[in-house]
Amino acid sequence: MGRIAVAAIVSLWVVPVSILVNHIVPEPYMDEIFHVPQAQQYCKGNFRSWDPMITTPPGLYYLSLAHVAYLFPGMSFIKAATSFSEVCSTSILRSFNGVLAVLCSVLVYEIITHLRPALDERKATLYAVVLALYPLHWFFTFLYYTDVASLGAVLAMYLACLKKKYWFSALLGVLAVVIRQTNIVWMLSVCCCEVINITLGGQRDKMDVDDTDFSIRKNVELTPANSITLGSNLRKRKLRSSVDNRIHLMSTRSVSSQKLTPGFLDEIKAIYLRLWQMKLEALVSFSPFILVLVAFIAFVCWNGSVVLGAKEAHAVSPHFAQIMYFGLFSALMAPMHCSLSPAVDLFRSVWRNKFLTLFQLSVALGAGFISIHFFSLAHPYLLADNRHYPFYLWRKVIKAHWSMKYLLIPLYVYSWLSIITRLGKFQRKIWVLAFFLATAAVLVPAPLIEISIYNHQRTHHDDVLVSTIPLVP
């Protein structure tokens, strides 16, 4: 019932906003001038036609063909279209992303309920709807871009991996990579998370909540059926309140118990020893992902680049400043998580171990300075197109004064401190490192500041968002 509610609620805004967008902007907008004509060529059967300015594979266009084929009989019956290619209009292609946005919200719901099986259905529905409102995801829902399809494929891949369906997960990984090449990083990240889950036993708080859920079910089963009458609503509300309190207590205990968890090197050692013990089983389980990785490497060697078109404009560059931008942007997109608590924790850490903490803070600020001073790139596309938000952020904020980019460094570092502190409360140290490395692997080589990429860092790895659920009131 929950997934139906999520789909219905998300559809309530996707449909009217899509109609409004198509009314105000009926023609292809921004990068749609490349994607829409290319999809229309495929609708005409011209599969050899290719726009050399398109950098991503044709996965989105093939999926769009299935969407158009589904709509064609009905539109032909009501005389709304006389040919298959006529159905392939800008509004119809955009509607495919609307359908995918609803699918993404359902996938998020499934992931939440899988990771938090004791979570109330109403809360799981609420969390899925809130995540569907993530600003970047919202914006690209109504345009014919690769973002929503890419996100949906990665979420489906992640869910399949959580359910131990590794071959199906790898197949979805192929689909994700065919939509957007950088999804190979998120496929590896999903594998890494599953390895951590297998070798280290997963999240401590999840196990505690599972135990609580078992005891709750046991109590419910022991309750006589004839004792549940209309007059027992008050008792049921009290029981539900008691259950919620117990779950909250378990979550609180899990947070405090993580202080006793092994250190980073101990986690690496435990993973290595456990993998060595189950090396054959692990090799068989994760061999599908290895095959996808080998195929991707072969493609890059054959193509001479990760991107398909406009290779000169999208050459790999050491854009380390992009990590700083992402940290601040993510923090601003979730201001409720950017409280003073990281600052308080930092102060306490400095008080307990002044030398080590000050050294770590100095390293972080130094890394931020080096990233901004030496690896802050201004791509020609960034400076030429004033239809993108980064154009104004670059000119009005970062380049407002020569000192501005340096004054923002403490904010960048503090944003990442907030993110890492937040994740560290519910994830193991090695998991947090894996997330950071995956984020860096996608962001650093990209020479162009594209906020749409940040949508994938923030939402692709849905466990990043799901890990905050126990602290949501």
How would you write the pLDDT of the chain (473 residues) with one tens digit per residue?
688 999 999 999 999 999 999 999 999 988 899 999 999 999 998 998 998 888 899 999 999 999 999 988 888 888 777 788 888 899 999 999 999 999 999 999 999 999 888 888 899 999 999 888 888 888 889 999 999 999 999 999 999 999 999 999 999 999 999 999 999 999 999 999 999 988 887 444 443 444 444 444 444 444 444 433 434 443 444 444 444 544 444 444 444 444 445 677 888 888 888 888 888 888 888 999 999 999 999 999 998 888 888 777 777 888 899 999 988 888 887 766 656 666 676 667 666 776 667 787 888 899 999 999 898 888 777 777 777 777 888 888 888 888 888 999 999 988 888 888 788 878 888 999 999 999 999 999 888 777 766 665 444 444 444 443 333 33
CA distances (Å), 443 to each of 185, 270, 323, 364, 448, in order? 11, 30, 6, 18, 9
List Cβ neighbours of 383 (8 Å cut-off, separation of 6 or more).
391, 394
Which two tokens mark 309? 């078109």
Q: Which DSSP state fits 320?
A: T
Which two tokens mark 415? 């944003």
* Chain-centre distance for alpha carbon 428: 19
List Cβ neighbours of 230 (8 Å cut-off, separation of 6 or more).
none
Contact 137, 456 (CB under 8 A): no
Contact 293, 184 (CB under 8 A): yes
In 258-388, where does DSSP find H-type helix? 264-277, 279-303, 321-333, 341-352, 354-374, 380-384
Each domain of the chain, given as residue ranges in start order, spans 2-152, 315-447
User: According to the model, what pLDDT value does residue 2 have?
Assistant: 83
Question: What whole-number distance in Å separates Cα of residue 429 and Cα of residue 385?
Answer: 40
Contact 373, 449 (CB under 8 A): no
- Length reported for the chain: 473
Question: What whole-number distance in Å separates Cα of residue 416 and Cα of residue 371?
Answer: 14
Question: What whole-number distance in Å separates Cα of residue 289 and Cα of residue 170?
Answer: 5
Question: What whole-number distance in Å separates Cα of residue 170 and Cα of residue 149?
Answer: 16
Three-state secondary structure call for residue 381:
helix
User: According to the model, what pLDDT value does residue 170 have?
Assistant: 95
Which two tokens mark 200? 């280290």
pTM of the model: 0.80
Question: What whole-number distance in Å separates Cα of residue 191 and Cα of residue 166?
Answer: 9
